[in-house]
Amino acid sequence: MLRSMRGLGVFVLLLLIPVFGFAQEPASTQELLLKLQQRLDSQEEELKRLRAEQQELRQQLAARPAAEATAPPDVAPSTSRAQQTPSPQPIPASPKVAAQSATTSDAPWWRSDKLHIGGYGSFRFEAGDAPGQASSFTFRRFVTTTDARLTDRLRVYSEFELERLVELELEKGAERTAGGVKFESEVEGNAGAEISLEQLWAQYDLGKGQAIRGGLILPPLGRFNLLHDDDYWDIARRTLIDRSVPAIPVAAAWRELGVGLVGAVDVGETGKLQYQAYVMNGAALDFNIENIVQTRTPSRNKLELEAALGMASGAANGTQNSEAFGWRVAYSPTLAGELAVSGYSGKYTPSFIASNERVHSIAADGKWRFGSFEIEGEYVYSDFGKTERVAQSLAEAVNVSASETSSGETADLENEIEIELAGLAKRRWGFWFDAKYHWRPDWLKKSFLGRGFEDPQLIPIVRYERVWLDRHIDELAFDAGVITDLVTQNLSQDRFTIGFNYRPTLQFGFQMAYERNNRREGDRLLFPDTDADNTNGLLMGWTFSF
Round the CA-based radius of gyration of the chain to a whole number and report it: 31
pLDDT at 315: 84
pLDDT tens digits in sequence order for the chain, 546 residues long = 444 444 444 444 443 444 344 334 444 555 656 666 666 666 666 666 666 666 666 555 554 443 343 344 443 333 344 444 444 444 333 333 333 333 344 556 556 778 999 999 999 999 999 998 889 999 999 999 999 999 999 999 999 999 988 888 888 888 888 778 878 888 888 888 889 999 999 999 999 999 999 999 999 999 999 999 999 999 999 999 999 999 999 999 999 999 999 999 999 989 999 999 999 999 998 877 666 777 777 777 776 666 677 888 988 887 788 889 999 999 999 989 999 999 999 999 988 887 889 999 999 999 999 999 999 999 999 999 998 888 888 877 776 443 344 445 545 666 556 666 767 899 999 999 999 999 999 999 999 999 999 999 999 999 999 999 999 988 777 776 777 778 889 999 999 999 999 999 999 999 999 999 999 999 999 999 999 999 999 999 999 999
pLDDT at 293: 74
pLDDT at 497: 98
CA distances from 184 to 169, 177, 219, 472, 477 (A): 14, 12, 41, 43, 38
Are 94 and 81 within 8 A, CB to CB? no
Q: Name beta bridge partners: 289.
A: 307
pLDDT at 408: 52
As a whole number of angstroms, the distance between CA 234 and CA 219 comes to: 23
pLDDT at 543: 97
The DSSP bridge pattern shows strands 413-421 and 301-312 to be parallel
CA distances from 413 to 74, 289, 417, 419, 464 (A): 50, 20, 13, 20, 51
pLDDT at 289: 67
**Chain-centroid distance, C-alpha 5:** 86
Q: What is the dihedral of CA 251, 252, 254, 259, to 10 degrees?
A: 140
> CB-based contacts of 270: which residues, under 8 Å, 6+ apart?
333, 334, 335
236, HSE (Cβ side, Cα atoms, 13 Å): 31
As a whole number of angstroms, the distance between CA 458 and CA 45 comes to: 18
pLDDT at 54: 65
Tally of CB atoms within 10 A around 394: 26
pLDDT at 102: 36
As a whole number of angstroms, the distance between CA 63 and CA 86 comes to: 7
User: What would you measure as the largest C-alpha separation in the chain, in angstroms?
Assistant: 144
Report angle CA 541, 542, 543 to the nearest 5 degrees: 120
pTM of the entire structure? 0.78
